[in-house]
Structure 1
């Protein structure tokens, strides 16, 4: 069975990731798993220090440093287990039955790729443990590019969404996203605003109206809007004016030109948004 997978790393986003994952698990009636990955670059399984110090009279330093590294790795593993245990306990307190926990050693992106077939929704914090306040996590962009599952990127605090906005651009990705939304329980009972940034042409109106009908046929309350202006600024302005809690948009495209344009918009929206962003693939 596919799980809601929440990645926790002890960063300031971890509590919001946990709460968001509990919310999504309940909405989807899907099992919840918490994942902690020990970075193999920071905590290698076995350190090789011979090239740094040399041999001879300093060989005892190698033994001491290797022992320190081993102890540091053991402490990091134990810290990860403590975080996982706390997340599981919190999920149970929030009504989640039998949450799972996984701890792996390696690269987070590679680990997620290995687990991808069992993931229904991936929940990540906007800030990783190694990121500054005004930057997204260093691994987030790579994860978004390589994964083919919906990804919920959350800020540092959690509030259960009461409304959602779909950034509609008429692309095949977002049209598929409309179908995914219509078939999913994640945003059920939330009013959906379909917002298109660009010229208000007959073709644009036909595209957004078609998407609206799909959602209405699935039982959603919808609002449509076409706005001119800069994509990022216009979306943020509409979201703020309408008090929208959840932004839904397509992730990176596959062509080189589309990766540059859409990738840039995606990165900026993640960096500047104060609400969760659901990225569809």
Structure 2
């Protein structure tokens, strides 16, 4: 069975990740798994250093280095388990049913790639504990995670607020149309007003595409509002979201051809950096 999987670390956004994952798990009626990854580059497993130049004869130093690495890795695992236990208690307190915890030692992106078959929705903070430098708006591994995953990803801000409305940025591309199909088939946004917003140039072609997408969502029982706007994509989307007090933004993730140019070079990466609400990346 696929799970809602939440990436838990020591960052200030970990509580919000836990809360959004619990919210999503309840709406999807999917089991919740809380995941912590001990980064092996920060806490390497003890290895054989005997072949290193200048160290081979210094057995006492090798022993001390290996012992230090082992202690650091053990402390990191114990600390991670404490975070997972606290997250589990928080999830249960907010309505999660028997959430599971998992701890892995390795690279986050590689770990998520390995676990992808078990993931229905990945929930991850916009900035992790390794990305707390002033001016760093997006976690160092977040964009790599989004690019490598083929599952929807909910990127959370630092504070939790239960979504009461949603907006999908729609550009008429195959990737965006696939995202509409995913939303129509999912109970995640059922019962919430969904604003389908298009910022385009060809009014006639774009209007037809927008109306088809709106029809799909409406046929699935969603309350749909449409808007076709002109101007620079990012500020227009932000302005519309602020005007209508929309709590959650959905858009296509990194793709190919036109959508790749549209998103990778500008809109998705920029929205990822600047939005203050959760961002649902659809693949």
- 1:234 correspondence with 2:236: yes
Distance in 1, matches of 2:222 and 2:156, equals 24
* Contact map agreement 2:173 2:259 (CA 8 A) in 1: no
Compute the displacement of 1:200 (Å). 5.5
Query: For 1:18-97, what aligned pairs fall within 5 Å after superposition?
Result: 18-47=18-47, 51=52, 54-56=55-57, 58-97=58-97
Compute the displacement of 1:60 (Å).
2.2
1:16 and 2:2 aligned: no
Contact map agreement 2:175 2:259 (CA 8 A) in 1: no
Cα offset for 1:177?
1.1
| Number of residue pairs the alignment of both structures matches | 279
Cα distance change of structure 1 residues 205 and 259 upon mapping to structure 2, 3 Å threshold: closer
Q: CA deviation at 1:214?
A: 1.1
Long gaps (5+) in structure 1: none
Contact 1:16 1:158 (8 Å CA) reproduced: yes
Q: CA offsets per residue over residues 233-281 of structure 1, 9 Å max, x none?
A: 11111111110100000000134x6434311321111110000000000
For 1:141 and 1:52, locate their aligned partners in 2 and report how far apart those are by CA, in whole Å.
38
1:165 maps to 2:172: no
Structure 1 position 138, deviation (Å): 0.9
TM-score, normalised by the number of residues in structure 1: 0.95
Return the match for 1:149 from 138, 151, 164.
Answer: 151
Residue of structure 1 in register with 2:176 after alignment: 174
**CA positional deviation for 1:48:** 5.0
What CA distance in whole angstroms lies between the structure 1 residues aligned with 2:76 and 2:8?
13
1:71-220 matches, within 5 Å, as 71-131=71-131, 132-133=133-134, 134-199=136-201, 201-220=203-222
1:47–1:180 CA distance, 2 compared to 1 (3 A): same
In the superposition, the TM-score normalised over structure 2's length comes to 0.94
Q: Structure 2: which 5+ runs fail to align?
A: none
Question: Against the structure 1 CA distance between its residues 52 and 184, is the aligned structure 2 distance closer, same or farther, given a 3 Å change threshold?
Answer: farther
8 Å CA contact 1:200, 1:227 repeated in 2: no
Q: Distance in 2 between matches of 1:53 and 1:137?
A: 38
Q: Is the 8 A contact 1:4 1:120 kept in 2?
A: yes
Q: CA deviation at 1:49?
A: 5.0
Whether the 8 Å CA contact 2:165–2:193 is kept in 1: the answer is: yes
1:67 and 1:93, CA in 2 relative to 1: closer, same or farther beyond 3 A?
same
- The one-character-per-residue Cα deviations of 1:42-82 (angstroms, maximum 9, x if unpaired) are 111114556486344x5423322221211111000000110
| Aligned-pair CA distance for 1:230 | 1.1
How big is each residue's C-alpha offset from its partner over 1:173-209, in whole Å with a ceiling of 9 and x where there is no partner?
A: 1111111111111001110111101225111111101
